[in-house]
Amino acid sequence: MNTWERYIKNFVSFLKIEKGLSENSILAYQRDVTKLMEYCTDHQRDNPTLVGLDELKGFVFILHELGLSARSQARVISGVKQFFQFLILENERDDDPSELLELPKIGLKLPEVLTIEEIDALIEAIDYSKNEGIRNRAILETLYSCGLRVSELVNLRFSDLYLEEGFMRVIGKGNKERLVPTSPSVKEEITCYVSETRNHQTIKPGNEDVVFLNRRGVKLTRVMIFTIIKDLANVIGLKKSVSPHTFRHSFATHLIEGGANLRAIQEMLGHESITTTEIYTHLDQRFIREAIISYHPRNMK
């Protein structure tokens, strides 16, 4: 194991134990720093404690030359900055050469949002002649009514559900826990799925507490949720690019349009920063603008 690999291994342990990040986040950071390692070793920098600003600028230039989008570049640079902060915390460096690295400017990209009618159409397109039909309806209703991430949905457990009281406990990014209100429709759909489908399955050991299972009695994968939604979009001929996250965006946008408090939405989504939630105010402004253009007498032909 070379010097870089040793530091990266310790960095991964730090992210897992000290920071409590999810496996996906840790893998992303590890990939980012590995890219830097490959560049630096090609330029005779075999130890990260010897890397300076010139090497980092060269690395960022290569990212640009490789055609990475501004958003992808920003993500890689963010991972590199975390790595150098780790080296300082471990007393391996006294300075942080990444401090002077500027993140590329990222234009505001508004996420795709479904209308209520489109969400209803997707749910109505479910084939209830199949055993998984009732389960899929419960999945879509939970995604939309609770604004869950797909990883939060597949890891949802019965011990986290308090449907009679009207809320569920969700373990989000970085193992952070939050309480999310549940609607009567979520209670109805999950209850129906459990009684009509899940109770008649053979459940593999270790999955007894998991809410949503595949036909083999084990936890669903994130890819399977994507596939369910893509297939339903094809059935109704929906031209929008949809994913499980589209339901989360729609959840937040419809709450904003209905006048919900931004802080409350931040709590329900589990956003660490209010800045992340504020993107939905831009969506709301777009909604207002479209409404004015469509319905104001001065704009109507």
Sign of torsion over alpha carbons 84, 11, 38, 79: negative
Residue 202: how many other CB atoms lie within 10 Å? 8
| Burial class (CB within 10 angstroms; exposed 0-12, middle 13-18, buried 19+) of 25 | middle
Phi then psi dihedrals of residue 113, to 5 deg: -130, 140
- 19, 169, 173, 222: the active-site residue: 173
Structure tokens at 251: 């959840």
- 81, 198, 254, 271: the active-site residue: 271
271 is catalytic: yes
Residue 231: CA count within 13 A, CB half-sphere: 12
CA distance 39 to 215: 46
CA distance 267 to 272: 8
245 is catalytic: yes
CA distance 186 to 52: 54
Neighbour order of strands in the sheet with 177-181: 161-162, 167-171, 177-181
CA distance 34 to 47: 13
3-state class (DSSP) for residue 255: helix
Phi then psi dihedrals of residue 157, to 5 deg: -125, 155
9 is catalytic: no
149 is catalytic: yes
- 81, 198, 248, 254: the active-site residue: 248
- 35, 45, 81, 149: the active-site residue: 149
- 29, 144, 193, 280: the active-site residue: 280
The answer to whether 226 touches 241, Cβ cutoff 8 Å, is no
The answer to whether 63 touches 73, Cβ cutoff 8 Å, is yes
Q: How far is CA 138 from CA 7, 75, 92, 204, in A?
A: 45, 34, 51, 21
280 is catalytic: yes
173 is catalytic: yes
Residues annotated as catalytic are 149, 173, 245, 248, 271, 280
